Structure 1
Amino acid sequence: MAPHRRLTQSGLTQSVRVTVLSAAAATAAAALGGAPASADPHQTAESARARVDRLYEEAEQATEHFNKAGERVERLREQVAQAQDSVARGQERVNRMRGALGSVAGAQYRSGGMDPALALLLSEDPDSYLDKAATLDRISERQATDLQDLLRAQRRLGQERTEASRDLAELERSRTAVVGHKRTVERKLAEARRLLNSLPSGDRAAFDRASRSGRGSLPALSGLAPASPRAAAAVMAARSAVGRPYVWGANGPSGFDCSGLTQWSYAQAGVGLPRTSQAQRYAGRQISLSEARPGDLVAYRSDASHIGMYMGNGQVVHAPYPGAPVRYDPVGMMPISSVTRV
């Protein structure tokens, strides 16, 4: 029988090294989505970067839903406040009318008894009075008019209370939607960050360089002038924002998302734009890309979930996505859905 071969120290070291390297390769593959060790590392990194880009796009779409819901919350909050104020004023009017008619009832009681019609309408349910209109001949014409005015005021007050309650319920639903959209954005951004962190440092650095390939300085502009003084003022504001960070849900001045940047820029020109890119695309006259002049809004993707401002010379200023600050990029950086002149 041949003697057992003893494993040398160098052989042991080599064996351990192979095992460790194999485990490391498996771990890296798992971090990149469970790809087998035999997969092309270049393709794996490319697929990871493509997934990050999709997550950023989906997060931007969710951000637009968040902004839209937030805008609705603000509008409903104003409606609720106005409705509640109207209800309060209506209640004061009803109280005054009831008080005046109560004085009439008191005088009648002291003089020999309250008129049944007046007692009916001063009750908590005066609507039944209409079924007994014949009793109106027991009181004066002026009192009858006052009683009918009270009835109409009480009906209007009830309607206003119903509308206020409906607006309040819709406000609560919209607030819930805001929270839901916020969670969606945060989840997608967190997933994108985890995926980026799982990349080897070289691939991560390459992605960072690619994501910041836009121009940070003012490009050479063509001879085209903005279409209006307000567009010129918006262009100057957008230029001043270059380099500031992308912050989802923000509309300046320290950070912006895409529609927040265009809204803030036009606000500096005294022009109010809607909060979302989908609404901004309809905030003016739509023109062809060949007609674009500085200050025009360029909406991207079929759902207009991204927007930038044309600056001339084939460039737009926009807030790209987290990690990439406000910058200049080619106008054709992604599919264009519309160009709008505000």
Structure 2
Amino acid sequence: MTVTPRIRPRRLRTTPAIRRIASETRLHPGQLVLPIFVREGGGPVPISSMPGVVQHTLESVKGAVADAAAAGVGGVMLFGVPEHRDATGTGATDPQGILNLATRVVADEVGDALVVQTDLCLDEFTDHGHCGVLDVRGRIDNDATLERYREMALVQAASGSELLGLSGMMDGQVAAVREALDGAGFVDTAVLAYSAKYASAFYGPFRDAVESTLDGDRRSYQLNPSNRREGLREAMLDIEEGADIVMVKPAGSYLDVLADVAAASDIPVWAYQVSGEYAMIEAAAMHGWIDRKRAVHESVLGIHRAGADVVLTYWATELAGWLNTGDVA
């Protein structure tokens, strides 16, 4: 006897139009943020471990952010690559430092079209490559670092950053920065807390991008990849301290943490598709092992589906173009 199924889920997969109208998760260009590196001195420099990504100059970054704005990307996150570094990262608080100069350039170019965001961390500016100030024993001094973050916050806000990305993973960083901003009258400057930032192997290409001088590792302040509950705990603490947005980083290997945070948070939740995730897909595509366009779209869609309201991705402008024309799988 032949059994004819009455319930046929495949009905909603039969044609492109039906699949489109039945989609549970949809990406929009405004849900994407483009990370951008701006270097001090020299011309634009390709990053070998991140094909298609470059260290921009103050001039070339104008075209990159204009393209992002034209594609409808929601924002850009700026990282500085200075020529000179020192123990306390003084270049981070120099109004003429590369990141602060780049912020003013970008804000002037596209500040009305997208959200200009800045990385608030010392690692790109210190000669030891850590995210904070070291004590006499060579360990991160959490509270001394908070003072540097407060100073950075004021300079970045004055330079035109609308949203400060606190990525250093110091205890109390959100409260310290919020207090500094409010005390100086920057009450409208928003704080993005990199709340669940894990000590990941997937940051390797990023360290090429910022020419990292890191000696050792960051396991004493970034989260243990084994810990799921701790990621949620950190996010809840940052919300209590006044964060406007919380972040999970990396994204692809921490979708469980992302889903946990999204389920518990009453503020926006973002995720960062980091350099190693980008590099793996690009490398596999170069070898012809995967369909690049489909893999890019699927990877970002999966992060959004898991709970990210916004995704930071190096494909932001390109992916936004595909979404605008419907040229995605």
The structure with the largest strand share of the pair is: 2
Q: Same fold (TM over 0.5)?
A: no
Larger radius of gyration: 1
The structure with the largest helix share of the pair is: 1
TM-score by length of 1: 0.21
